[in-house]
A and B are shown apart, each in its own frame.
Chain A
Amino acid sequence: MSTYLTTRCHGLMTHLLSDEILDALSATKSSQEIKDILTPTDYGRHFREQDKGVDFSFEDIYSKVLVERYNFLSKVSTDDIREFLISFQRKFEIQNIIRILRSKIIKTTNQPFDDILYPITDFTKINFDAIGEAESLEDAIAALRNTPYRRVKESIDWYNKYDSLLPIEFGLRKIYYNMLFENLKRIPSGDRKNVDQLIRTEVDIANCFTCSAASVFDYDEELIESLLIPYTSKISMHTLRSVIRIDSEHEILTLLSPYYEVIKNLLAKEETMAQTEALRFLRNKIIKQKILESMNFTYVLCYLYLCEFELRDLTFITLAVQHNVKPDDYLIYKK
């Protein structure tokens, strides 16, 4: 059922940037050099449009290519797989909603939001303009009433209590994971366990980041507990709840030992390094799965994760080059 898709992904995998290209990009000194290196790749078409005068930033181009890759896979999939891929892709949809909602917090500003959204159009039914035009955060959330995210209005009380958008952000993420796990039944049964584990690892890491905020940044324990996403893998909700109330670094490291490197950096307030370690952990898992499940649907998901990693790597390198950050200072954050 998904063999065709998997085969296509084998072909598409060759389009991903190799480590040699990423190393060459890291050695560049200017945006033009980056452009020259990326022109023969999937990004080249958009760079040529940019040359014709279309106003795209590098990051816009990278996001466009990622979304195009997702869209292509959705188009060549069977109905069930497409449904799953769309629900997987909804992470960009909720990210867009979150970004617009953030602009509603400071009511004095009416910033344009087009430039901060992922360019998703193919699957989304969300009217981002309507959310953006809302007068207040409450109105913006009301604009979600006919969407799968209508239940997020339940988080408004938490928003009012803590004057923080985090409950709404995480409310949306919980709905996202809920839909994603519901749609797991649409993928081949032999792949469900692997895909489930990959997504749960992602959730585990997100939960580690969340619960460390209580001890490191003194975030409110009750708030942090409400943000935990229940689809865990190696760390149970009970453990996560107890971590929120612990101050001892040693105990936290012991309880969250499966993600030792991530937690160690989080406790040292080195969050970008923690994220890099988390992505390395996930990447290693994906590379293993990619080899073991090379003829199954899991391979497709591995490809999509690798596309996202490529976006992060490219964004990182481009911004570092544009801001004249010394390679030694940022290459440690490369996966």
Chain B
Amino acid sequence: MSSVLGAGVKPTRGFLLDLKKRVKFIEEGYKLLEMKRDELARELRSNLDLLGVKRSELEKEFEEAFQKLLIVHGSVGTQEIKSLRTAAGKLLGIDVMPISVMGILVPFIKITDKPSFKNKYGSIIRSAAHDFENLLEKLLKVTELEMRIERIAEDLEKTNRKVNALEKIVIPDYNKVIKYIADRIDEDMLEEIIRTKLIRTLIIKRRS
């Protein structure tokens, strides 16, 4: 009969009551998932807006920093730039930790070791190094936001699929089964009434 219940459908009153309870529970879940979907969509939209702003800011700053670096590169030459790569002393170290947002695990980037440019660079390169030092943190923040958006979008997709499945398949299927069982019970009741009436008519005929 149904893709949801398979062959286990019993057209009984007890089963019907059980099904109705189940549908009520599913509908409550559906409403909750719908709320979650709306909330995730709102979160995604606001994060996307934020990302749009931050990313364009970052791109602009990167463009300026790279332009400055290109000029510095031209001024000091490739050999000097190559040798200056290591002058900061440290490499960037990060820890990526999961934090939960509405039950979704999103990454949180913690900087554990940061190359410091203060007191490290001589003339010409200082300003470009300083710009890139500031950009590193911003870049990580944007990366974190992008990952957050990706995870929210993935979860939104899953939630959406669940909501759609409940809305378009599970609940209508249950309702169909309920209707089928209710119809069967009604038919059975009608049969019973007619049978009772027939028997009553037969009994009356025999007595008369």
A contact residues, range: 35 or more
Give the Cβ gap from B125 to chain A, nearest Cβ, in Å. Answer: 8
Secondary structure at the B interface, as helix, strand, loop or mixed, is: helix
Q: In the assembled complex, which residues on chain A have CB atoms less than 8 Å from the CB atom of B121? A: 166
Tell me, rounded to whole Å, the shortest Cβ–Cβ distance linking A327 to chain B.
12
Beta-carbon contact of A330 and B74 below 8 Å: yes
How many angstroms from the CA of A157 to the CA of B120 in the assembled complex?
Answer: 15
A117 at the interface (CB under 8 A from B): yes
* Cβ B130 vs Cβ A166 within 8 A: no
The answer on a CB contact under 8 Å between A316 and B87 is no
Question: Given the complex, which residues of A lie within 8 Å of B86, measured CB to CB?
Answer: 102-103, 105-106, 109, 111
Pair B126/A315 contact, Cβ less than 8 Å:
no
Instruction: Encode A222-266 as 1/0 by CB contact (under 8 A) with B.
Output: 010000000000000000000000000000000000000000000
User: CB-CB < 8 A to B83: which residues of A?
Assistant: 98-100, 102-103, 113, 116
B5 at the interface (CB under 8 A from A): no
Q: What A residues does B67 contact at CB under 8 A? A: 325, 329
Residues 109-127 (chain B) with a chain A CB within 8 angstroms: 116, 118-127
Q: Is the CB of A99 within 8 A of B79?
A: yes
**A59 at the binding interface (Cβ < 8 Å):** yes
- The reply to whether the CB of A269 lies closer than 8 angstroms to some CB of chain B is yes
Q: How many contacts between A and B, using CB within 8 angstroms?
A: 116
The smallest beta-carbon distance between B70 and chain A, in angstroms, is 5
Say whether B79 contacts A116, CB under 8 Å.
yes
Known: A102-B84, A103-B86. A323 touches B123 (CB 8 A): no
Which residue of B has the minimal Cβ distance to A319? B74
Across the interface, do A323 and B78 meet the contact criterion of CB distance under 8 Å? Answer: no
Min CB–CB distance A107 → chain B (angstroms): 10
Residue B73 lies at the interface, judged by CB distance under 8 Å to chain A? yes
Q: What are 24 residue pairs bridging A and B, where the CB atoms are less than 8 Å apart in the complex?
A: A103-B83, A106-B90, A109-B86, A113-B83, A117-B79, A163-B89, A163-B116, A163-B119, A164-B89, A166-B119, A166-B122, A209-B124, A210-B122, A213-B126, A220-B118, A271-B126, A275-B124, A315-B77, A320-B74, A323-B73, A325-B67, A329-B67, A329-B71, A333-B75
* 14 extra interface residue pairs, beta carbon distance < 8 Å, beyond A115-B79, A271-B125: A57-B78, A63-B79, A102-B87, A113-B83, A115-B82, A116-B82, A117-B79, A163-B119, A166-B119, A166-B120, A219-B118, A274-B123, A316-B74, A323-B74
